Amino acid sequence: MQIPQIRIQSQPALIGLETTKGVQQISQPRAEQSIQQSKADLKIKTTKGVLTIDQTQAWNDMDLKNVFVRTEEASKLGREDLLAGIARRAQEGDQLMRIENGGNPIAEQARVNSVSEMKEWNIGWIPSAGSVKLDYQPAKVDFDVQVNKPIIETTSKKPAHTYQPGDIEVFLRQGNSLSIDFV
């Protein structure tokens, strides 16, 4: 037995999409910069060092004395010899006053006064140690520095920006259909 049949055939609609991508471009130009640096101002002040050499004592030790030193020494030696002579004559006078005490003071005084003392001699041209006096005041250096700050100028530039938007195109790739058959 045959049963009638209904055959249904359908085909869906298909949509097609075609896209175009968007394009964006960004570029950043370099900034312009100028830098100016002035030299620092430098001032240097120097106080000279002072060296003082005093060799007066060395010259005196070598018997190459200044006229003023010689005069002072001669005056001092003359005074000492004068006082020694006065003391000797006073002592000899006292001995002669006491001649009655015995002895022979006149002969004794003649013997003492006729004998001279032994002179002391030494090398005279070598100065004593430490006779040259040195004094040194070191130099002083003062620095004065004035720093000049740099002058910096910067000009920035805006970025270059371009944008092309994307696009979507919609189309019907396949239409829909429905077919019905009776068998």
Whether 1 shows a pLDDT value over 80: the answer reads no
Say what the pLDDT of residue 34 is: 93
Band of residue 129 on the pLDDT scale cut at 50, 70, 90: confident
13 domain-assigned: yes
Mean pLDDT of 159-165: 92
3 domain-assigned: yes
Tell me the per-residue pLDDT of 67-124, one tens digit each, with 9 for 90 and over. 888 899 999 999 999 999 999 999 988 888 888 887 888 888 888 888 877 777 766 6
119 domain-assigned: no
Which CA distances in Å does 51 have to 25, 54, 104?
Answer: 79, 10, 66
Mean pLDDT of 147-169: 91
* Between 22 and 125, residue with greater pLDDT: 22
70 domain-assigned: no
Q: What is the domain count for the chain?
A: 1
89 domain-assigned: no
Tell me the per-residue pLDDT of 10-44, one tens digit each, with 9 for 90 and over. 999 999 999 999 999 999 999 999 999 989 999 99
74 domain-assigned: no
Which CA distances in Å does 119 have to 22, 60, 126, 176?
Answer: 127, 20, 19, 156
Give the number of other CB atoms < 10 A from CB of residue 87.
10
